[in-house]
Amino acid sequence: HGAPPRHIASLRHSGLNMLSDQRSKEAQLPKLPMHVIIVGAGPAGLLCAINLLSRNVAGAVPRYTVELIDGGQDYGSLDEGGLQLRRSWMIGLAWPGLRAIRRVPGLYQDYVSKVGVRIKKTALYIGSKKLMQASGEVTSDSEKFLVDRNFIVHSLARFLEERFVRSTGSPPAASRPEKLTLRYGTKIQFVDPDARRVYARGPSGEEQYLPYDLLVGADGVRSVVRAAFVATHRDFNCAVEDIFERFKAVLISLPEGVEDECMHVFPSCMKGMNGIGLVATGGRINISIGHRCHAPCEEELQSDEPAVVAAYLKKHFKAIPLPYEEVAAKWVSQPWSSTTMCRCNFYHSMKLSAVLLGDAAHATSPSIGMGMNHALGDAAVLDELLQKHDDHLPAVLPAYSAARVKEGNALTDVADLIQSYDGGQAMWMTLRQMARIFAHSMLPRLIAPEPYLAIANGTTLSTAYAELERMGRIENIRRVNAAIKQRHYAQMSGLIPPPLAPCVKRLRFVLAAIAVALMAVGYVLVTSSSATASPLPPPSPPSPSPRFRFKYNF
């Protein structure tokens, strides 16, 4: 019973190594099916669910099962009247969002395209003067499409349920694996990172733990999933702040003479106010007008009396004709609105096995209309990375952060710093933009395009941000805006005295001017009297030096 021959031992050792390698590879393969909990049934969450379930192959073991959780109502079950009763706002779909939707066969053509308006032109109003610019063709990088947020959520929810819940020709529910679970009216209370489960409270108050293999946080700027990132990772940096704007929006019938299939932009439409008009379906237009927090609007626009607001609009809003009484009635019936922005330094967690999408990762100002576009882009990039890395999460999740963090932070900064809060600097930056646009049209090979126009024509936000940084515009505007914000918040908290009233400022200016005038008159009188005075007597000769000197002078 001696030792086995050397070649036998070598074969046995090789066999053990092969078995070990095979087990190692099997351990790296994703568990099938992978159960994904998506928190948030907004555009990003719904498109993510559609993408994941589309990866399943008919007749085979499903690669993914999806549990969609949202605290609100299923918008897919509402009709047009029900959708219009709920708070909403118009959204511009540009190339990132349209590409993400068109990746799914039939989603744009059969659902989304029926609830929005394709934009063929953009109108810029300077007072009553109007400048027109054509938009790009369909499927081009400069294509634009306007849609009510409630209606695009309705379209995505209908597509999800009709394709993966009520599919025609599918076997009875009892004979097929459950691939999609919808939990509307359910709120996530917290995430348990150790057991990889969430604690949820249902519409009737029932509470339960729900396990997951991958957790997708698409639950908005007040994200519970992002709060788990904060609690789990000490190196997770997250900044949440107000956009420093207040605005109101009214939905009215399209006034006579105002173009449909057109985006209407109203810069400086009234004192301290900027606005935009987004055309909706059914011959309507959504007009949003707002101001910066440090520069409140005129008192008439803050009135609770519709007649006062209507008279002010009639006198000062010159861009397009309005039904002033209707606009004023809707204006005073709503409070001033605001939104929030946030920045994060990474969008994935290996410990939580989670990713952040949309506003949970990069909520932003609506000033450039790219928020939902990049939320949909997040869902598309995640799907592409799952395809590229064969659903291997240890490779997918870090790659997702590497691809999207730079775009998300560029989105937040570019939207926030599109315009200076200081009027003089804003005018100077506008002149620079116009000069660059003109110079690029004359010398396109030598002069780079205006970055904000390049964004609308297919340039990524990170590329545009790098160009704005190179020009010095981002840093200059950031410095001025940060100082104005800091001073405003210090005044609001009582840390420094409030700004003087305009009448006091004018009085101080008048008094200073009078003081300067008196000083000038006094100087003239003194110099004129000196010129006419008699000459001084000649100086006396110096006295002889004293005989004795003191050592110290007292």
Res 178 pLDDT > 80: no
* Domain-embedded: residue 127: no
In a domain, residue 515? The reply is no
Could you tell me where the beta strands, DSSP code E, fall in 223-293?
238-242, 245-253, 262-270, 273-280, 284-292
Q: What is the per-residue pLDDT across 250-278, written as a single tens digit (0 to 9) for each?
A: 999 999 989 988 889 898 899 889 999 99
Same domain for 310 and 440: no
Which one, of 223, 213, 229, lies nearest residue 37 by Cα? 213
Quick check: 428 and 444 in contact, CB under 8 A?
no
Mind listing the pLDDT tens digit for each residue in 95-134?
899 999 999 999 999 999 999 888 888 888 888 888 877 6
Domain count, the chain: 3
Residue 533 falls inside a structural domain: no
Does 296 share its domain with 237?
no
Percent of the chain residues past pLDDT 90, beyond the cut? 55
One-letter identity of residue 295: A
Residue 80, domain CATH: 3.50.50.60
Do 324 and 373 lie in a common domain? no
300 plus 349 within the same structural domain = no
Same domain, 298 and 369: no
* Residue 207 resides in a domain: yes
Q: Are residues 257 and 325 in the same domain?
A: yes
102 and 225 in a single domain? The answer is: yes
**How many angstroms separate the CA atoms of 67 and 54, rounded?**
15
Residues 225 and 360 in one domain: yes
Tokens 């008048």 label which residue?
A: 510
531 within some domain: no
Per-residue pLDDT of 126-142, as tens digits, reads 888 888 776 656 556 67
Judgement on whether residues 267 and 285 belong to the same structural domain of the protein: yes
Same domain, 194 and 113: yes
Q: What is the mean pLDDT of the chain?
A: 86
Domain containing residue 439: 420-492
Query: Would you say residue 79 lies in a domain?
Result: yes
* 287, 312, 332 - which closes a domain: 332
Distance CA 277, CA 255 (A): 11
Residue 475 falls within a domain, yes or no? yes
Tell me, yes or no, whether 513 lies in a domain: no
- The encoded tokens of residue 16 equal 């053990």
Its sign, for the CA torsion 13, 15, 16, 18, is positive
From 468, 492, 516, the end of a domain falls on: 492
Check pLDDT > 90 for residue 346.
yes
Q: Say whether pLDDT at 69 is over 90.
A: yes
Which are the contacts of 403, defined by CB distance < 8 A and separation ≥ 6?
381, 385
Which helix H or strand E contains 340, and what residues bound it? strand 340-344
Do 410 and 424 reside in the same domain of the chain? no
Which of 75, 88, 98 has its CA nearest to residue 153? 75
pLDDT band at 176 (very low <50, low <70, confident <90, very high): very low
The model's pTM is 0.81
Measured between alpha carbons, how far is 230 from 360 in angstroms, rounded to an integer? 12
Residues in the chain: 554
> Which band of pLDDT confidence, cut at 50, 70 and 90, is reported for residue 172?
very low
Q: Are residues 149 and 83 in the same domain?
A: yes
CB-count burial class (<10 Å; 0-12, 13-18, 19+) for 488: middle
Please calculate the CA angle 182-188-189 and round it to the nearest 5 degrees: 160
